[in-house]
Amino acid sequence: MASRRGDTRIERDLLGEVEVPASALWGASTQRAVLNFPVSGEKLPLRLIHALGLVKAAAAVANRELGVLDEPRARAIEHAAREVAEGRHDAHFVLDVFQTGSGTSTNTNANEVIARLAEQRLGPKGGAVHPNDHVNRSQSSNDVMPTALHLAARLAIHQDLLPALRRLHACLLSKAAAFDDVVKLGRTHLMDATPLRVSQELGGWARQVELGVGRAEAASQALAELALGGTAVGTGLNRPAGFPERAIADLSRATGLAFREAGDHFEAQAARDASVEASGALRTIAVSLFKIASDVRLLASGPRCGLGELRLPALQPGSSIMPGKVNPVICESVTQVAAQVIGHDAAIAVAGLSGQLQLNAFLPLIARNLLESVRLLANVSNLFVERCLEGLEVDRERAAGWVEGSLALVTALVPAIGYDAAARIAKQCAETGKTVREVCLEQRVLPREELERLLDPRAQTEPGGARKP
Residues marked active site are found at 189, 319
Element spanning 29, H or E: helix 28-36
C-alpha span between 332 and 315 (Å, rounded): 13
Query: DSSP 3-state assignment of 378?
Result: helix
- Please, are residues 459 and 468 in contact by the beta-carbon 8 Å criterion? yes
CA end-to-end span of the chain? 89
- Please, are residues 28 and 105 in contact by the beta-carbon 8 Å criterion? no
C-alpha span between 349 and 375 (Å, rounded): 19
CA-based nearest residue to 452, from 464, 439, 466, 434: 466
Task: Name the CA dihedral angle for 121, 122, 127, 132, rounded to a multiple of 10 degrees.
Answer: -40
C-alpha span between 111 and 30 (Å, rounded): 10
Evaluate the CA torsion angle 382, 387, 389, 391 in order and state its sign: positive
C-alpha span between 444 and 306 (Å, rounded): 34
